[in-house]
Structure 1
Amino acid sequence: METKFTGIPGLDEILGGGIMAPSTILIAGNPGSGRTTLGVQGLCEAAKNGENVLYVCMTSKSETAVREALSNYDFYEESLNIRTFNVSSVERDPLTMLVELGNIVASLKPDRVLIDPVTPIGFGFPEAERRRFMYSLNSAIGEWNAIVYLTGTMSQSDVCRSVISDVVEGIIYLSQEIERRGSKRSIKIMKMNRPNYIEGEHTFDISSSGIEIYPRITTHNTEQLSPETRIDSGIPRFNELIRGGLFELSSTLIAGNTGTGKTLFGLHFIVQGARDGDAGIISTFEDSPAELRRYASSLGLELEELEQKGLIKIIYTPPPEINACRHTVELRKNIEEMGAKRLLLDDISGFDYVFADPVVKREHIANMMRNFKDMGITSMLISGNRAAGNNVLTSEIPVSSLVDVLILLKHVEIGKEIKKTMSIMKMHGSDHEKHLIQYDIDSEGIHIGEFLKDM
């Protein structure tokens, strides 16, 4: 058996490298989940690579109407062979359909076949006869020596009860949930005839380009790198406080109340890297690119100039549009294209729109940071956009334990004045200043002040 690619963005990755040929794969899911789109897109991508493919459609529409509907997708390939069967006929007389289908396959000798959907076939039969028919269909498929996709409108419990799940080598399940912010689409592998597929739920989108899948973040058992090389944080005197700068490949969490300058710390970090020739990415859920450029310019940071040189890229995702897996895929793509070495994520509370369970949020961020390190990225995360006086670490304690460096920014009342203060809570592999540190922000950026030893 050989492995063949599906050509669908993200699907080959979660399948562990593609689909074994020959094999039979069930694509199941609830109504509107994208089963047909996934199946036809897979056929068209194979056809573009020179394979002979056949789309068998159970419908009341003509072949011309089916082809016209499919041509609205960018992936559509004219060489796709289409054969239609009247859906009411296959419900009553599936055996005649099976004989005719066998003749079509014998004539075309396709490399891949999609039967869409398989669930209405023999629907009018008693359950025992339907089961016998499915075994007959499976025997026929075994002689085709092809990759065969079957689609079915089925719940997960239906899949578990159906005889189809017994005869196929793989089961791909698609689901769609209608939420206030739109549709949430997910895909998972319930069964596959190869051991290295990625388990769990993955998200995907459907557009005129077809389906694009965003694999769930996973980590590999890579060897942990020992910190050695220091890099400039970009903040005057801060490098002294941490005894020489941030470690390369480290992760830093800047947590603080509203107005403490968290984003400015991140901008200094990214701009300094770009000045030193290390490309950087700013992923923002809060401020738009225009707002960041204006803010940076007011503080003397040449953010826009460095963008124009290709040394910095801003990726803006409004909170209601955050898709955690899609976001990570986009970051990976840009890191590879730019050869980026630094990344700023502002603010991780944006993931609250996606993850109701803090444990799941923690797992996502932990895997994301591990991926960054594997890609040679030194990262800085911002958190705590909350009112002054609140405990900014309360909701991020699970995340703060994941990072290498933790810095807490807060307002403190000293005499009759409100001062900005910094605490370096931890820094793995290095000594650091233990006292509360005062700092100021003016038109030239951040200025580290005196130690507040008596507070």
Structure 2
Amino acid sequence: MAALVCGYFIEIGWARRYNLMTRRMDLLGVESKKMTTRRLSTGIPGLDQVTMGGLIPRHAYVLVGNPGTGKTILSLQWLLEGVKCGEKGIFISMVEEPKMLKKNAESLGWDLAPIEITDFSVAAVGDMDEFEEYHVFPSSEVENAPVWKKICEIVEKKKPQRLVIDSITQLRQFSTDEYQFRRHIFVLIRFLTQAGCTAVFSCEPLFMEEDTSISSAVDGIIYLEKEISRERLIDIRNIHIQKFRGSDFLPGAHPMRITSRGVEIFPHIIEKNREVQHAGEQIRSQIPELDNLLGGGIESGTTTIISGPSGTGKSTLALQFLMQAALAEKRAILYSFEETTESILFRSRSVGMEVMPLLEKGLLEIRYVNPLELYPDEFLQAIRLSIGKESYNVAAFDSLNGYHMTMEEFGSTVAHLQNVITYLKAQGTTVFMINETERITGDLRMTEAGISFLADNIILLRYIEQMGRIGRVMGCVKKR
């Protein structure tokens, strides 16, 4: 039966080809169904959120990316998720041999046995006499090349719900020219849709630029990108959607990683301001002179910058506020970008601050963060888990300089930081941010990164020289 269907595919004119294909599928008992709101979960952390629920059934998508961007891994991950959902999946490989695919999948702990892998790689196709030096054949014979026909036969016989063709860049060689390739692609996608199959193709960016018909034929275009950071320190991977027919999606570039578990995506979500009613509580330092200076303490739900040069006691002061909040039965967390937990504990003991009992009770947590290991959106996702699920009331970041020096590899740190603060404010979280200024004396500067607008309160610590001695002073220069 599939041979009859594919006969229409390669033997008759394009206009009649398209119409007869539809008619033929009706004869085969395949109904043309209206698009529903049901989605196919991708099984890829973060991607369902970016696509607003997953891929739409019976649509065709193309993954666009250079070699090494994760197209094959993402495709296999999507097929394995279908297996979990009781859906049959087929992977048609135009590049790698099945044994190599399985070997690479094993390194991720994946068993590809439930997925049927069809080998259309050069080694496999080279065994078919029809494909050897096909340019010497008349065009009428080349049009009968069996690869396009074989794809139809596989789909008709196996009836998969999910299909991957990796890649259509290689599939191009089985059409005599660009015009014929475009016709074949349009009819193939129509055939897959009528067969109730959701398809994912992969291709390279240059191929998409050279043949724009792919963009028109598919329902969705997903780009995977990999580049070297501005300071050439790390690789930056991201995924973004250019087209997603029939649904909205999260715009922008979303950071992604290829981990030992496969692809993980960290959606870039712009947080929205929300008015939060506060009970009028204050967090006190329990240092009488400082609390009087602050009008009793720091109001809950506000953001405070503690700014000053190195050695003025900024980190110690922030830890003092966190400890007092924890002693008042509020849960507090410190994100440290410079000091390890052991270093903070040692320093706190040296000034008589007993932090360990609060850590043991779970009222205070110290979390060391190496910013070079995290994307800004990945860090914000970790904050969401801490604040949203573990119910922390107070959070501190030490320091903004450490955050800025490393996170700037990923773009504007001010924009990312504003997104973090907006989220925390919406949760009613009290925030302390430590900022280090470079100048020990001289002109008065709140911060050197232009972030003072984010703060409700600013506490400034400075050195002064008096009678040949260096001293420290503290002042509150802003309090809403």
**TM-score, scaled to structure 1:** 0.86
With over 3 angstroms needed to count, the CA separation of the structure-2 counterparts of 1:233 and 1:338, relative to structure 1, is same
Paired residue type of 2:87: E
**Which residue of structure 2 aligns with residue 447 of structure 1?**
none
Matching of residue 153 in structure 1 with residue 189 in structure 2:
no
Match in the other structure for 1:38: 74
2:228 corresponds in structure 1 to 178
15-24 vs 31-40, which deviates more? 15-24
Instruction: Tell me which amino acid in the other structure corresponds to 1:381.
Output: M
Change (3 A) 1:357 1:51: closer
1:255 corresponds to which residue?
307
Relative distance call for 1:235 and 1:203 in structure 2 (3 A) is farther
Deviations 1:156-204 (A, max 9, x none): x935853111111111111111343232111111111255422111111
Instruction: Please give the residue correspondences for 1:280-295 in structure 2 after superposition, counting only pairs within 5 Å.
Output: 280-295=332-347
**Amino acid corresponding to residue 81 of structure 1 in structure 2:** E
CA contact (8 A) 1:258 1:387 kept: no
2:220·2:242 contact (CA, 8 Å) conserved in 1?
Answer: yes
After TM superposition, the structure 1 = structure 2 runs for residues 33-112 of structure 1, keeping only pairs within 5 Å, are: 33-59=69-95, 61=97, 63-76=98-111, 78-87=113-122, 89=125, 96-112=146-162
* Aligned counterparts of 1:336 and 1:17: Cα–Cα separation in 2: 21
Give unpaired runs (5+ residues) of structure 2.
1-35, 135-141
Local SS of the residue matching 2:171: coil
Instruction: Find the aligned partners of 1:305 and 1:296 in 2 and give their Cα distance.
Output: 12
SS of equivalent to 1:229: coil
What CA distance in whole angstroms lies between the structure 1 residues aligned with 2:339 and 2:54?
39
Q: Structure 1's 311 and 36: CA in aligned 2 closer, same or farther, altered over 3 A?
A: same
Mapping of 1:49-448 within 5 angstroms? 49-59=85-95, 61=97, 63-76=98-111, 78-87=113-122, 89=125, 96-123=146-173, 125-155=176-206, 158-159=208-209, 162-179=212-229, 180-220=232-272, 222-225=273-276, 227-237=278-288, 238-349=290-401, 350-355=403-408, 360-384=412-436, 386-389=438-441, 393=445, 396=448, 398-428=450-480
Distance 2:191 2:334 in 1: 55
In structure 2, the CA distance between the partners of 1:356 and 1:176, relative to structure 1 (3 Å rule), is closer
1:263-311 deviation digits (Å, cap 9, x = unpaired): 1122112222222222222111111111111111222222222222222
The unaligned stretches of length 5 or more in structure 1 are 429-455
TM-score normalised according to structure 2 size: 0.81
Instruction: Give the secondary-structure state (helix, strand or coil) at the position aligned to 2:450.
Output: helix
Task: Pick closer, same or farther for the CA change 1:77–1:372 going to 2, 3 Å.
Answer: farther
Q: Percent identity, aligned pairs only? A: 26
Change (3 A) 1:195 1:399: farther
Corresponding residue pairs, total: 424
Determine the structure 2 residue equivalent to 1:27: 63
SS in 2 for 1:122: helix
Residues 307-339 of structure 1 show CA distances to partners (whole Å, capped at 9, x for unaligned) of: 222222222123443421211112222223422
Instruction: Decide whether the 8 Å contact of 1:231 with 1:246 is kept in 2.
Output: yes
Specify which structure has the higher proportion of helix.
2
Q: Secondary structure at the match of 1:27?
A: strand
Distance of aligned partners of 1:306 and 1:392 in 2 relative to their CA distance in 1, 3 Å threshold:
farther
Question: Greater strand share, 1 or 2?
Answer: 1
SS in 2 for 1:54: strand
Q: 1:67 to 1:397 in 2, by over 3 A?
A: closer
